[in-house]
Amino acid sequence: MSQQGFNAIALAIPVFFLLIGVELWVERRERRLDSGRTLYRLNDTINDLACGTIQQLVGVFGKTVIFAGYILIFESFRLATLDPGNWMHWAVAFLGIDFFYYWFHRASHEVNFLWAAHIVHHQSEEYNLSVALRQSAVQQFLGAPFYWPLALLGVPPMMFLALDAFDTLYQFWIHTRTIGRLGFLDAILNTPSNHRVHHGSNTKYIDRNHGGVLIVWDRLFGTFQREEEEPAYGVTRPLANWNPLWANLQYWGELLAVARRTRRWRDKLLIFLKSPGWRPADVPFETPPYMPIEGRKYDARPPEGLAGAAVVQFLLAMGAVIALLFGGGLVGTGAKLALAIFAVWGLTNVGGLFDCRAWLPASEAARWAATIVAAVLLAPGEWRLVAGAAALLLAVAALVPVLRQRARFVRPARVEERLPVLVTQEEGARA
């Protein structure tokens, strides 16, 4: 395995964006906007992609740790060795990977500390191909031990990585509302219809259809649910925030707060091990500000005229990530860390811009000041002046629109605030 590692997900990024473009074209072609059934919202889509970007960045720095246990077990304790030259062995390995994925995915819905990571994928209140890219930064670490039995049984690391990538890539296309039921395939495979159920916050849809490629595991183990009415997408206690860092930390913070408030030491531990529907008797659930089942969606938007600035800032952060994913081997550790910090800080600020947070202007000014310093310090000697000047020009272009409207950034980051919530036309028609 090379220093860059086997990252089929990163290599597939251009295809992901191409297919998202196709889905947008299908949306326009079917005139969904006229019926109020919008597939994409700019704020939600950028937040999805920001979460996925942070997950990829964490993987760049953590892939060795993630895979170390598997390699150790395979090299030191395996009971047999599957032959990569035998297609039957590939089939057996695939079934094993999909089987253990089912159990990891199911556990991620039934154990609080695992749900604290996996919840990121379910926070979007839309359902489209960009949601497939909305992933947790830490779930890759928590999921690794679930696959260690495959190392013990002798699935070679490269065979595992290839099939695990296939299992993951397969699940991209099923995150869509543009494909209906697929007949007999719905009984065997995880299809868009089956996976829409999985993302529903309707009571009968919660914790159903955990399969990766095959839906037969859900049928065997009693977690299958057929799609009936269209799901209300999202989680029952909404994130209501466009900050991708907070998306990864919010539920951990909630668990820690409950552990701190409950009086019994047993409950301080159980809050991390019980299901998301459990709370200690002395720390009941608080009423959420709204629920997706009511036909409501969080819809904070940037001040007028700054949506374009948000998109540009997002693209700059994505540029840094692409440079890190595909050119990381050409730069030193300091430059890698600088690119990662620039990207994560930028994506966080884009969320703050959409949320109109009061801290955004100061944070953006600090980010660009740090960027100018990093550009001067990390550039080769003869290029330092050029790098600093280029960073300064970008800083001015980025900061001027924000500072001109700094009075519009007034929303404090607190749970009690009045939320900007969108009521869908479908809900209005039912009311």
What's the confidence (pLDDT) of residue 406? 87
| Cα 145 to Cα 107: distance, rounded to the nearest angstrom | 12
Q: Are residues 30 and 176 in the same domain?
A: yes
What's the confidence (pLDDT) of residue 36? 55
Q: Are residues 40 and 150 in the same domain?
A: yes
Asked whether residue 360 is assigned to any structural domain, the reply reads yes
What's the confidence (pLDDT) of residue 416? 42
Which tokens in the block code for residue 324? 């890190």
Residue type for position 301: R
What's the confidence (pLDDT) of residue 3? 33
Asked whether residue 226 is assigned to any structural domain, the reply reads no
Q: Are 231 and 196 in contact (CB under 8 A)?
A: yes
Q: Are residues 323 and 198 in the same domain?
A: no
Low-confidence ranges of the chain (pLDDT < 50): 1-6, 414-417, 425-431
Q: Are 238 and 123 in contact (CB under 8 A)?
A: yes
Q: Are residues 48 and 182 in the same domain?
A: yes
Q: Are 199 and 118 in contact (CB under 8 A)?
A: no
Asked whether residue 295 is assigned to any structural domain, the reply reads no
Q: Are residues 193 and 51 in the same domain?
A: yes
Asked whether residue 167 is assigned to any structural domain, the reply reads yes
Asked whether residue 70 is assigned to any structural domain, the reply reads yes
Domain that holds residue 83: 8-221
Asked whether residue 267 is assigned to any structural domain, the reply reads no
* Mean of the per-residue pLDDT values of the chain: 90
Asked whether residue 275 is assigned to any structural domain, the reply reads no
Q: How many residues does the chain have?
A: 431
Q: Are residues 17 and 137 in the same domain?
A: yes
Q: Are residues 215 and 316 in the same domain?
A: no
pTM more than 0.85: yes
Q: What's the longest Cα–Cα distance across the chain?
A: 67
| Cα 346 to Cα 375: distance, rounded to the nearest angstrom | 16
Count of domains observed in the chain:
2
Q: Are residues 202 and 69 in the same domain?
A: yes
- Which class for 212: exposed (0-12), middle (13-18), buried (19 or more C-beta within 10 A)? buried
Domain final residue pick, 163, 195, 221: 221
Q: Are residues 214 and 355 in the same domain?
A: no
Domain final residue pick, 182, 197, 221: 221
Q: Are 177 and 196 in contact (CB under 8 A)?
A: yes
Q: Are residues 53 and 200 in the same domain?
A: yes
Asked whether residue 120 is assigned to any structural domain, the reply reads yes
Q: Are residues 36 and 153 in the same domain?
A: yes
What's the confidence (pLDDT) of residue 289? 87
Domain final residue pick, 187, 221, 255: 221
